[in-house]
Structure 1
Amino acid sequence: MTRAEAKERNRRALLDAAFEVVSRDGYRARLEEIAERADLTTGAVYSLFGSKSGLVVALVADYLRPHYEEIEQAAPAGSDLLEVVDAFARYYRRSCDAPNALAGLSLQITLLDMALHDRELGDRLATSVRAQETHLVALFTGRLHNGRVVTPYQARRLATALRALFVGLSQGVVLGLAPDADEQYFADTARALASEVTLIDHDGDASEARGSE
């Protein structure tokens, strides 16, 4: 095994161990237990991630990245905005039935708890989530909607709104609070949100362009 392969193996082992421990303990998660589960030392954590916060931020990116990549693959080529939103909604609903859905919800809750206890970590987590969300913004940008092309500004606003919608709905599904929220419900709700004029037709594009000059 090469040094690069060993490094990636150790990185993967620490991320998998961190998912289990952080999902359970949140900000109380101990590096010693994470390292022990990965059959490594705490020195490996500092070497690969810099700190406990660095490991947590990497964990979030590692957890979100495959979801956005799979969403990109699920979107039909040449589709308009609402068709892409529909595919996104159905994918998100199916993820609620995945074997690790409850663990994923636990991770969301504990990460929020960690962010509330550590402002610096909260800022880093928010930056990480926004970075992963750029995949979704790119997926929406340039799509046709009501005879117009969706701009990056509009796509970002829509991505933020959809993320909030789906996080809330998926939590309800996993906790048994939304028993009737099937794929069609997710799709219908998302389409209604995406069709809202205030999200798509907004004069912020011009102000954003001026701000970047």
Structure 2
Amino acid sequence: MRLTRAEQQERNRAALIEAARATIAGRGPAASLDAIADAAGLTTGAIYSIFGSRRELVRATVADQFHARHDEVARLAATDLDLVGVLRACAAQAVVPADVDQARTELNELLIVLRDDELRAQVAEIKQAELDRYATLLTDRVVPGVEPPRRSTPEEARRIAAALRAVLTGYAMHALVDRTADTADEIADTCAALAALAR
């Protein structure tokens, strides 16, 4: 079956994002458009046709990771887990796919972003949306161990969301240095302890 032009362009877009992620993981800021295009089995012309620039390709790669996480957060939002349960689930989702290559990719993307003011502003918007979604997820959850029983407030959820993101980022970056340092259970325990910010 022959693909339509739109289907082919979407397939090429996905291939370029995947190739960009792998190339950035391996080469960091030195990841060239030629290397990314070669890894995708396409030409640099395809990158310019679909994304318009290297900056937009990097932005799309960061956004793609954000959208994948958003889908995971949306699944958690549909549960009736208490605050500790949601924090443990967030840790589990982050740890399972967060291998060393993923951490390396995110670190190298950050190095690219820090060199480009316009890209930094675009990625800051994506990261703010990520924080907002975590805060929404953590709002109105039963806070265990509190008498009388109550639910987390939006202010508490925002503080916990910022701490959660910092903890998960820290563990991911630490994995680049010491691959045996922490187990998934230890990371989940640390994230669960953040519920104390609501007490």
Question: For this structure pair, what is the TM-score category when the shorter chain's length is used for normalisation?
Answer: 0.7 to 0.9
Structure-1 separation of matches of 2:194 and 2:150: 17
Equivalenced residues, count: 193
Encode CA deviations 1:92-136: one digit per residue, 9 max, x unaligned: 33334xxxx121121122122112322222222222222234332
Residue of structure 2 equivalent to 1:41: 43
Can you give the 5+ residue segments of structure 1 that lack an aligned partner in the other structure?
202-213
Q: Is the 2:113–2:119 Cα contact (8 Å) retained in structure 1?
A: yes
What pairs up with 1:9-88 in 2 under 5 angstroms?
A: 9-73=11-75, 77-88=79-90
Percent identity at matched positions?
36
Residue of structure 1 equivalent to 2:122: 124
Q: CA deviation at 1:76?
A: 7.6
Structure-2 separation of matches of 1:194 and 1:178: 26
Is the partner of 1:149 in helix, strand or coil?
Answer: coil
Residue of structure 1 equivalent to 2:133: 135
Can you give the 5+ residue segments of structure 2 that lack an aligned partner in the other structure?
none
Residue of structure 2 equivalent to 1:186: 187
TM, length-normalised to structure 2: 0.83
Q: CA RMSD in A?
A: 2.4
Structure-1 separation of matches of 2:150 and 2:120: 37
Assess, with a 3 A threshold, how the Cα gap between structure 1 residues 177 and 31 changes in structure 2: closer, same or farther: closer
Q: Is the 2:104–2:173 Cα contact (8 Å) retained in structure 1?
A: no
Amino acid at match of 1:120: E
Q: Is the 2:73–2:133 Cα contact (8 Å) retained in structure 1?
A: no
Structure-2 separation of matches of 1:28 and 1:189: 35
Structure-1 separation of matches of 2:64 and 2:157: 23
Assess, with a 3 A threshold, how the Cα gap between structure 1 residues 22 and 131 changes in structure 2: closer, same or farther: same
Residue of structure 1 equivalent to 2:101: 103
Q: CA deviation at 1:177?
A: 6.1
What pairs up with 1:151-162 in 2 under 5 angstroms?
A: 151-162=153-164
TM, length-normalised to structure 1: 0.78
Amino acid at match of 1:54: E
Q: Is the 1:21–1:34 Cα contact (8 Å) retained in structure 2?
A: yes
Structure-2 separation of matches of 1:17 and 1:49: 14
Q: CA deviation at 1:30?
A: 1.4
Q: CA deviation at 1:8?
A: 0.7
Residue of structure 1 equivalent to 2:165: 163
